[in-house]
Amino acid sequence: MNNNEKNTEELKSGETKSLNFLEAIIEEDIKNTKHGGRVHTRFPPEPNGYLHIGHAKSICLNFGLAEKYSGKCNLRFDDTNPTKEEKEYVNSIMEDVRWLGFDWEDRLYYASDYFDRLYEWAVKLIREGKAYVDDQPSELISEQRGVPTRPGIDSPFRNRSINENMELFLKMKNGEFADGSRVLRGKVDMASPNMHMRDPVLYRILHASHHRTGDKWCIYPMYDFTHGQSDYLEGITHSICTLEFEIHRPLYDWFLDNLIETEYRPRQYEFARLNLSYTVMSKRKLLELVNDGLVNGWDDPRMPTVSGLRRRGYTPDSIRNFADRIGIAKRENVIDVGLLEFSVREHLNKIAPRIFAVLNPLKVIITNYPDGQVENLDLEINPEDPEMGSRVVPFSKEIYIEQDDFMEDPPKKFFRLGPGREVRLKGAYIIKCKDFKKDKNGKITELYCTYDPDTKSGTGSQRKVKSTLHWVSADHALDAEVRLYDRLFKNEFPDEVEDENKDFKSNLNPDSLKIITGKVEPSVKEAKALDKFQFQRLGYFCVDPDSTSEKLVFNRTVPLRDSWAKKNK
């Protein structure tokens, strides 16, 4: 076992964990009645794509901490960039957070709600000589910032008078300047070893319509100038973000120190983002897969998006359990995607009704079974949960079993069906294979078996055989399209490419979707979109929203066992 595998095994066992570092901080703060013992977090997505499993981790963390410490968690759209954000994304994000089981109650906010306040704060900084309008193009500004080891070069506009700055900023706001021609910068520290402190840009000019403020503004605040102040306005106590923002924290604090008079301050904490093997997580890359038609939209069941996982058959419980299991860390790491699959298997095992489905049908004719007879067998829905009761499964003279449950010339260890061999049909009888038929290509097309009427399941029959097969009655089974999904990438780390002219897309798994027509037992006729089932001996499946009463469509969520773990050994 390598380290990663050892880790995965430990995480599966779900041993009780001690407090994570954020819980420890919060408990200490509560003990010291910091913020009067209040806990208030927020989840701040940028509405420029659909949420993915990494966001789900952040949602579980922020809403989870609020829940645990009787606090509150806000949903806040970080919509400072008018050009990339769309209403569709806002709606999908709300749907996904709710589906995961969290509630922001009446605390839905948009950073754009604060544009007026932010503008006033920018004016305050100008008045106090702490911000200036720079007329230089952005390339020159970056060039002058230089490198961390040497101080940067001051802009020639750094020492403009307060009056001139006030006038120019007003003109920026009034739309008198072209996009990119000027910016407002904080006068912080051009010699700081932290590049974010070298006179950061606070406002840029963008003549673009905003999904909420329309054409009211043609200057927009930058993320850094928005985030901490938004936290402040909402009374956030613990502002939790991912590690890449650690280096922004001094700036987060600089703005609050220079703008806020009250003693109350939100404080930023950083944790390691979730990375998953066999998965790309950045919204930019996910958008590329959608736009290039490499997947069927954001909710393609192969996508690591919350909507993709939902359509794949994941449950909110399984995602929350996964987030809980992996916990939070302060250092970057990669979690085995097998652990996510384990979590959904574990939950579906408890809740999914069992049914019979045959994906590669082989017809079996039971020669001594009466013509036209049908027995309605009562079969258990879920052995893990007897309260789920039973279902009726018809049995008749002609049935289907899986092609690979029969071998013409089976090796010793193969206990399923072969000439002269016996198996039990689950919930029905023991049958014996007497003969078979092949087509001209050598493919087995039909089996001829006899059944033993004294071996009916549930009647106390003593006879035991080594193998039990699932089956469906040929006359009663329904056809179903079955979409066999597999991992979207064949490479454990999709961003690693051998050839520098290639990118992550060259690591797509060509076999990530196989569509077949199978046979399912008739009890699923009325199943609704996203209903989940265990196809016995095969895996977990759910009804795709494309499914209709004329044409059933199922998605494979996961096979019963982790086939990738074996492959990699």
| 241 interacts with, out of ligand ATP, Mg ion, none, CB within 5 to 8 A per kind | ligand ATP
Residue nearest to ligand ATP (CB): 54
Q: Is 533 helix (H, G, I), strand (E, B) or coil?
A: strand
3-state helix, strand, coil in the chain (%, to 5): 35, 25, 45
| 57 interacts with, out of Mg ion, ligand ATP, none, CB within 5 to 8 A per kind | ligand ATP
Contact 237, 64 (CB under 8 A): no
Residue 227 C-beta: closest distance to ligand ATP, Å:
9
Distance CA(86)–CA(332), nearest Å, equals: 31
Residue 24 C-beta: closest distance to ligand ATP, Å:
19
Given 46, 167, 380, 481, the catalytic residue: 46
98 is catalytic: no
Q: What is the DSSP letter of 331?
A: S
Distance CA(1)–CA(336), nearest Å, equals: 13
How would you classify residue 207: left for phi > 0, otherwise alpha for psi between -120 and 50, otherwise beta? beta
Nearer of residues 57 and 347 to ligand ATP, judged by Cβ: 57
| 161 interacts with, out of ligand ATP, Mg ion, none, CB within 5 to 8 A per kind | none
| 242 interacts with, out of Mg ion, ligand ATP, none, CB within 5 to 8 A per kind | ligand ATP
Residue 82 C-beta: closest distance to ligand ATP, Å:
16
| 467 interacts with, out of Mg ion, ligand ATP, none, CB within 5 to 8 A per kind | none
Q: How would DSSP label each residue in 353-411?
A: PEE-EESSEEEEEETTSPTT--EEEEEES-TT-GGG-EEEEEE-SEEEEEGGGB-SS--
Distance CA(228)–CA(253), nearest Å, equals: 8
Given 34, 158, 273, 505, the catalytic residue: 273
Residue 282 C-beta: closest distance to ligand ATP, Å:
4
Residue 511: alpha-carbon gap to chain centroid? 21
Binding site for Mg ion (CB under 5 A): 46
Residue 239 C-beta: closest distance to ligand ATP, Å:
9
* Owner of token pair 């652990």: 339
46 is catalytic: yes
Cβ-based neighbour number of residue 369 at 10 Å: 20
Nearer of residues 55 and 320 to ligand ATP, judged by Cβ: 55
Which amino acid type is present at position 325? R
Q: What is the DSSP letter of 508?
A: B
Q: What is the DSSP letter of 473?
A: E
Rounded to the nearest 5°, which phi and psi values hold at 88? -55, -40
Given 187, 198, 204, 283, the catalytic residue: 283
283 is catalytic: yes
Residue nearest to Mg ion (CB): 46
Nearer of residues 29 and 224 to Mg ion, judged by Cβ: 224
Nearer of residues 323 and 352 to ligand ATP, judged by Cβ: 323
Nearer of residues 41 and 512 to ligand ATP, judged by Cβ: 41
Binding site for ligand ATP (CB under 6 A): 44-46, 54-55, 57-58, 78, 241-242, 273-274, 281-283
Residue 507 C-beta: closest distance to Mg ion, Å:
24
Q: What is the DSSP letter of 191?
A: T
Residue 318 tokens read as 């399984």
Residue 273 C-beta: closest distance to ligand ATP, Å:
4
Nearer of residues 119 and 223 to Mg ion, judged by Cβ: 223
Characterize the bridge pairing of strands 375-380 and 532-535.
unpaired
Catalytic (active-site) positions: 46, 273, 283
